Amino acid sequence: MLYFPRWKTYLIIAVCVLGTILSLPNFLSRETLAALPGWYAGTRVNLGLDLRGGSHLLLEVDMNAVIHDRVEGLVDSARTQLRTANIGYTAINAGDRGITVQLRDPAQADDAVKALRPLSNNIGGGALGGGQPDLDIRTNGGTITAGLSEVALRDRATQAIEQSIEIVRRRIDETGVNEPIIARQGNDRILVQLPGVEDPDRIKRLLGTTAKMTFRLVDMNADPTTGRAPPGSEVLPSTEGGRNQPSYVVRKKVEVDGANLKNATAGTNPQTGEWVVNFEFDNVGARRFADVTRANVGRPFAIVLDNKVISAPVIREPITGGRGQISGSFTAAGANDLAVLLRAGALPAPLKVIEERTVGPDLGADSIRAGLMAVSVGFVLVCAYMLAAYGLFGAFACFALLINIVLTLAALSMLHATLTLPGIAGILLSLGLSVDANILINERIREETKKGRGVFGAMEAGFSRAYSTIVDSNLTTVIKMALLFVFGTGAIKGFAVTITFGILISMFTATVLVRLMMVSWLRQSRPAALPV
Amino acid sequence: MFRLRLVPDNTNIQFMRGRYAGLIVSALLSLASVALFFYPGLNYGIDFRGGIVIEARTPQAADFAQLRHTLNQLNMGQVALQEFGSPQDVLIRLERQPGDDAAQQVAADKVRATLAKEVPGTTVRRVEAVGASVSGELFYNGMLSLGLAMVAMLVYIWFRFEWQFGFGAIVTLLLDVTKIVGFYAITGMQFNLTAIAAILTIMGYSINDKVVVYDRMRENLRIYKKMPLRELIDRSINETLNRTLGTSMCTLLSIIPLAIFGGEALQDFGIVLIFGIFLATSSSIFIAAPILLFLGENRLRRGVPAPEGAQQPAPTP
């Protein structure tokens, strides 16, 4: 226990020096860092949102809406399919997870099944087919049910969340937030972390908009004031406000879809000075747009966003260039946001913010200051006690404690772990816990000395006997913190991380490093008695 | 050579004399804590109950009456205002709003807008809005980690020591945890995720302490084969007393700055940990040891193989 081969000594010193070097970038100013190579300057502790300021949002994808959309689509397609196959029905109803069709003539059931089969998509198959149909079609006399299977529902959900994450990422990128974190959480949630964002209002609004844009014809035969629409049309409110034009009757058929947009930018109309959004279609969209406008000159064409009519301009002439303009009494911010939304694309389903935690940057700075203060005072107090209680050996322990903090910082920096406010509390607590090892060792050495052992014998026995106790007591803490890390969320995880590192590293600093110091001192000064 | 000793060396305090008193007092305190848990109950923070917390800094000293009046007009249920830190800093707590998770967001935005309008120059320094589904999950996960931690500790101690030790440790932990919960109930401190972290930390600390004392008992069991268990336990506690108190002192010294400088979030955490350190230190001596004494008499030595320690020359008494 007391003999250190030369290579081991050097290794221990090398670890300490290397750790110190790696933790240094955390203390350097921005200017100094800029002069250093990137890989080195980059080994810094990641500050959590609670320390640097920023916004943490947890979003939930409305899966019911996803399924509802698919079911609604099924109703429409079923109607078309049955009509083309000349099969009479009395009703098609949408259920929670599928549709039911009542046939006029039960004898046609087999034909109806055949007609409905193409509605089913295969999931999980490759290019060569295979996979499973997502619809489960059953007949019961004249009643046919087509239900989405469990696999289909799960597949839909996965698709929806992946698509949503992509769109969320695009939208946030458009806002220019630095280093956002966007990650899936669980089955239907998206975690969004926005460093430096003080008021996430705009982003919440951007993310809370589905931005499903469609171009549809206005039904001229119906009167919107009655609030009723003929089959195939629906009454939609207008965003223009005002009491005179509260709503439009709009055909359900989508002429051109927003998915075919290639670009959208905010601008002003040179004549009126009004804010507008200019858009541009891709090839498919441009062709459809041209066809529709050519066939419907003189009629109003509704631009519908999330089931609200933004505007319904009258088509004056065929628009063949694939470009157009939306004007709808926008503010500058409103036009910009709409352009962002259109560029980024529509969400497959509405997103809800279910958790928000925002910290302003000055509160973060206050927390850092408070944390540093607490750690410094804690360090001084613990060291003072150790010095008073164990003299020189206490000084060794204090030096080890300092190295412990430095190495913990280095480890956090290298792993780019996130330091949170509870994480600082963890560092503090691990100060107290890691000197426990030194207290155990020193007390033991003291006891062994009292029992009459010599200098070397007491040291040897002190270390070897205390060691298993140290391992035992530290392991129990590490187990706890692992649990906290797995089940905790957000900032609390940071507590588990720093305390785990602090304790694991203390197994090196408080035992190995301190032993090296003690042994070196012992060899050099050859004392007659130990200073414990 | 001056050395600070928290207790003199070679103490011979007969702790086991107080075994009944210790257990009874502890059991009574824990029972009282359980009662307090049900009535008046814990002050759950928004992590577990949902709701909204907004920390704002007003340009001048905050006018609480005006703020309360303004916010009450929003009709969002009970609004709790609290000053902390400086007179300019206001903590606004709102109950969980009726409706779904999104309703919390709407309400938080409304408060933000109202503050900006009614008290111009106010900066919102922190906003937390948690909906019911999230808070439900956080609570579940928190409780789950507490439960799992208990089991993990039991398994670990059982694995490393004889079962009597494991049993003693787990009973002590239960008594400790109930008292911490009682502490939360009495002080009315927010019971939230940080509280779970505090309880886990204290559990870890407490077990840590028991492991050290148990280790010594086990060692002494091997050395003094004839000594009555009661005397042996007392001896082990006395021998480790300086370490137990020393470590408690160091941990205390590292935590006290947290309670003083830690700010709103960490202050409570620090205070609970200070309470926990006292709790854990006393329970090692007055709970864990007596349980071992009751369980272990006549049994603990059975099946313990003659350890290496026995072959060594007997230590001088």
Check residue A220 and give its pLDDT: 82
Helix (H, G, I), strand (E, B), or coil: what is residue A126?
strand
CB within 8 Å: B125 and A363: yes
Same domain? For A330 and A469 the reply is no
Same domain? For A248 and A129 the reply is no
CB A63 within 8 A of CB A186: no
Q: Does B124 touch chain A (CB under 8 A)?
A: yes
Q: Are strands A181-185 and A351-359 parallel, antiparallel or unpaired?
A: unpaired
Same domain? For A236 and A316 the reply is yes
CB within 8 Å: B257 and A374: yes
Mean pLDDT of A7-16: 93
Sheet with A301-305: strands ordered across: A256-257, A213-217, A301-305, A308-311
To the nearest whole Å, the CA of B72 is away from the closest chain A CA by 22
Secondary structure letter of residue A314 according to DSSP: B
Same domain? For A121 and A47 the reply is no
Lowest mean pLDDT among A125-129, A219-223, B22-26: A125-129
| Rg of chain A over all Cα atoms, to the nearest angstrom | 35
Check residue B108 and give its pLDDT: 87
Q: How far apart are CA A58 and CA A355, in angstroms?
A: 5
Instruction: Report ipTM for this prediction.
Output: 0.87
Q: Is the pLDDT assigned to residue A180 strictly greater than 50?
A: yes
Q: Is the pLDDT assigned to residue A384 strictly greater than 90?
A: yes
Q: Is the pLDDT assigned to residue A45 strictly greater than 90?
A: no
CB A530 within 8 A of CB A459: yes
Q: What residues of chain A lie within 8 A of the CB of B131, using their CB?
A: 354-355
Q: Is the pLDDT assigned to residue B307 strictly greater than 50?
A: no
In a domain? residue A168? no
Q: How far apart are CA A123 and CA A132, in angstroms?
A: 5
Place of tokens 């020096």: A17
Same domain? For A514 and A373 the reply is yes
In a domain? residue A519? yes
pLDDT digits (tens, 9 = 90+) for B170-187: 899 999 999 999 999 999
Q: How far apart are CA B269 and CA B246, in angstroms?
A: 22
Helix (H, G, I), strand (E, B), or coil: what is residue A373?
helix
Which of A310, A328, A357 is the last residue in one of the domains?
Answer: A357
Q: How far apart are CA A488 and CA A486, in angstroms?
A: 6
Place of tokens 């406000």: A241
CB A408 within 8 A of CB A355: no
Q: Does A136 touch chain B (CB under 8 A)?
A: no
Check residue A219 and give its pLDDT: 85
Q: What angle do CA A530, B1, B7 make, to 5 degrees?
A: 90
CB A468 within 8 A of CB B307: no
Place of tokens 């008499």: B297
pLDDT digits (tens, 9 = 90+) for B203-259: 888 988 888 888 899 889 888 888 888 999 999 999 999 999 999 999 999 999 999
Of chain B, the end-to-end C-alpha distance in Å amounts to: 25
Which of A357, A381, A412 is the last residue in one of the domains?
Answer: A357
Check residue A245 and give its pLDDT: 57
**N residues, chain A:** 532
pLDDT digits (tens, 9 = 90+) for A62-110: 888 888 888 888 888 888 888 888 888 888 888 888 889 888 888 888 8
B 128-187 residues with CB below 8 A of A?
A: 128-131, 133-134, 138, 141-142, 144-145, 148-149, 152-153, 156, 160
Check residue B310 and give its pLDDT: 42
Residue A452 sits in a domain whose CATH number is: 1.20.1640.10
Q: How far apart are CA A424 and CA A494, in angstroms?
A: 8
In a domain? residue A192? no
pTM of the model: 0.82
Place of tokens 């999931």: A123
CB within 8 Å: A483 and B243: no
CB B134 within 8 A of CB A382: no
Q: How far apart are CA B198 and CA B313, in angstroms?
A: 45
pLDDT digits (tens, 9 = 90+) for A313-346: 888 888 888 888 888 778 888 888 888 888 888 8
Reading the block at residue A481, the tokens are 């913190």
Confidence of residue B317 (pLDDT cuts 50, 70, 90): very low
Alpha helices in B161-192 (DSSP H): 163-187
Mean pLDDT of A471-493: 81
State the best of A480, A489, A493 to mutate against chain B, taking most chain B CBs within 10 Å: A480
pLDDT more than 90, % of chain A:
25
- Of the candidates A340, A326, A308, the one whose C-alpha atom is nearest the C-alpha of residue A174 is A340
In a domain? residue A183? no
Secondary structure letter of residue B316 according to DSSP: P
Q: Does A380 touch chain B (CB under 8 A)?
A: no
Number of domains composing chain A: 3
pLDDT more than 90, % of chain B:
29
Same domain? For A374 and A509 the reply is yes
pLDDT more than 70, % of chain B:
93
Smallest Cβ–Cβ distance between B129 and the set A356, A476, A495 belongs to A356
pLDDT digits (tens, 9 = 90+) for B245-292: 999 999 999 999 999 988 777 888 999 999 999 999 999 999 999 998
Check residue B301 and give its pLDDT: 61
In a domain? residue A468? yes
Same domain? For A263 and A401 the reply is no
Q: Which residues pair with B284 in a beta bridge?
A: none
Reading the block at residue B105, the tokens are 């967001």
To the nearest whole Å, the CA of B107 is away from the closest chain A CA by 12
Residue A103 sits in a domain whose CATH number is: 3.30.1360
CB A322 within 8 A of CB A289: yes
Check residue B312 and give its pLDDT: 42
Same domain? For A234 and A368 the reply is no
In a domain? residue A170? no
CB neighbourhood size of A71 (10 A): 19
> Where does residue B114 rank: exposed (0-12), middle (13-18), buried (19+ CB within 10 A)?
middle
Q: Does A382 touch chain B (CB under 8 A)?
A: yes
CB within 8 Å: B3 and A433: no
Mean pLDDT of A370-391: 93
Reading the block at residue B163, the tokens are 């079962």
Check residue B316 and give its pLDDT: 42
Same domain? For A425 and A305 the reply is no
Place of tokens 């669980």: A186
**Domain of A459, in residue numbers:** 6-52+361-525
In a domain? residue A182? no
CB within 8 Å: A356 and B128: yes
Q: How far apart are CA A344 and CA A338, in angstroms?
A: 10
To the nearest whole Å, the CA of A473 is away from the closest chain B CA by 4
Confidence of residue A30 (pLDDT cuts 50, 70, 90): confident
CB B47 within 8 A of CB B103: no
In a domain? residue A160? no
To the nearest whole Å, the CA of A137 is away from the closest chain B CA by 35
Residue A264 sits in a domain whose CATH number is: 3.30.1360.200
Q: What residues of chain B lie within 8 A of the CB of A366, using their CB?
A: 263
Same domain? For A350 and A237 the reply is yes
Same domain? For A238 and A150 the reply is no
Q: How far apart are CA A306 and CA B172, in angstroms?
A: 59
Q: How far apart are CA B290 and CA B19, in angstroms?
A: 5
Mean pLDDT of A158-173: 91
A236 phi/psi in degrees, rounded to 5? -120, 140
pLDDT digits (tens, 9 = 90+) for A210-230: 888 899 998 888 777 777 778
Chain centre distance of CA B15: 24
CB B42 within 8 A of CB B34: no
CB within 8 Å: B1 and A428: no
Instruction: State which residue of chain A sits closest to B54, comparing Cα positions.
Output: A358
Helix (H, G, I), strand (E, B), or coil: what is residue A191?
strand
Q: How far apart are CA A346 and CA A264, in angstroms?
A: 13
| Domains of chain B, first to last | 15-43+135-301 (1.20.1640.10), 51-130 (3.30.70.3400)
Q: Is the pLDDT assigned to residue A271 strictly greater than 80?
A: yes
Residues whose CB falls within 8 Å of the CB of residue A392, separated by 6 or more in sequence, listed in order: A521, A531
Reading the block at residue B160, the tokens are 């490393």
Check residue A478 and give its pLDDT: 86
CB B71 within 8 A of CB B111: yes
Which of A330, A357, A384 is the last residue in one of the domains?
Answer: A357
Alpha helices in A98-149 (DSSP H): 109-116
Reading the block at residue B115, the tokens are 């503050």
Q: Does B125 touch chain A (CB under 8 A)?
A: yes
Same domain? For A119 and A48 the reply is no
